């Protein structure tokens, strides 16, 4: 498994190395020892407590979501199909605060992201897609944060016309309101 740093502070891309033959392929989607060794943090990966999965039709946008308080760390991968995945750093003291970066996650390269606490996360399904999340904290709806997927200050470049968003995402606040809240 290859692990690389990104332009966003503390965000990592993990890329398994599938074995392919006439039967298809086999890949290890996560290796705790390799992950912990890369971070020089023995036992860190044992902190994940919840696995979740979503299925989305092409054009669907899920996000932009985050967590208040201690935030949450997560591993995100696309198990089937392809998604345009977007992260925005919301840590006021971070050198990459307010910056965003997008990633192609798909079932061809099996690339996935380590997203540390303090990020907004969202994606658009480019095909019918299953996205899997490994999360380090139980979900607490009282800590949910959200910014509209079409917020003009973020100006996220979604590759497809947006086909469907949830009612929750449709009523999400603005980037400016979140920045003001984080400054309190």
The pLDDT of residue 37 is 87
Mind listing the pLDDT tens digit for each residue in 64-98?
999 998 899 999 999 999 999 999 999 999 999 99
The predicted pLDDT at position 81 comes to 98
Q: State residue 29's pLDDT score.
A: 83
What does the pLDDT read at residue 123?
98
Please tell me whether residue 183 adopts helix, strand or coil conformation. helix
Contact 158, 124 (CB under 8 A): yes
Pick the closest to residue 87 from 8, 13, 150 (CA basis): 8
| 27 vs 98: CA distance, rounded Å | 34
Cβ neighbours of residue 176 closer than 8 Å, sequence gap 6 or more: 153
Residue 149 is predicted with a pLDDT of 97
Catalytic residues: 65, 133
- Supply the pLDDT for residue 183: 80
Domain limits, the chain: 48-183
Residue count (the chain):
184
Name residues of the chain where pLDDT drops below 70.
Answer: 184
- Percent with pLDDT over 70 in the chain: 99
Superfamily the domain 48-183 falls into: Jelly Rolls (2.60.120.10)
Strand locations in 29-167, DSSP E?
A: 50-56, 61-67, 74-80, 82-89, 100-106, 112-115, 119-125, 129-135, 144-146
154: left (phi over 0), alpha (psi -120 to 50) or beta: alpha
């Amino acid at each position: 498994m290859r692990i690389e740093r990104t332009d966003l502070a503390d965000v990592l891309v993990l890329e398994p190395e599938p074995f392919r033959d006439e039967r298809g392929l086999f890949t290890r989607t996560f290796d705790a020892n390799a992950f912990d060794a890369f971070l020089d943090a023995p036992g860190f990966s044992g902190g994940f407590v919840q696995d979740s999965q979503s299925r989305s039709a092409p054009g669907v946008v899920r996000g932009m979501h985050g967590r208040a308080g201690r935030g949450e760390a997560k591993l995100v991968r696309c198990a089937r199909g392809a998604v345009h995945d977007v992260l925005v750093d919301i840590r006021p003291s971070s050198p990459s605060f307010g910056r965003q970066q997008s990633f192609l996650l798909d079932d061809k390269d099996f690339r996935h992201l380590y997203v540390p606490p303090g990020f907004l996360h969202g994606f658009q399904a480019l095909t019918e897609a299953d996205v899997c999340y490994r999360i380090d904290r139980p979900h607490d709806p009282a800590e949910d944060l959200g910014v509209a997927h079409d917020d003009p200050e973020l100006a996220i470049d979604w590759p497809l016309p947006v086909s469907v968003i949830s009612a929750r995402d449709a009523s999400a606040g603005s980037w400016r309101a979140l920045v003001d809240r984080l400054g309190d």
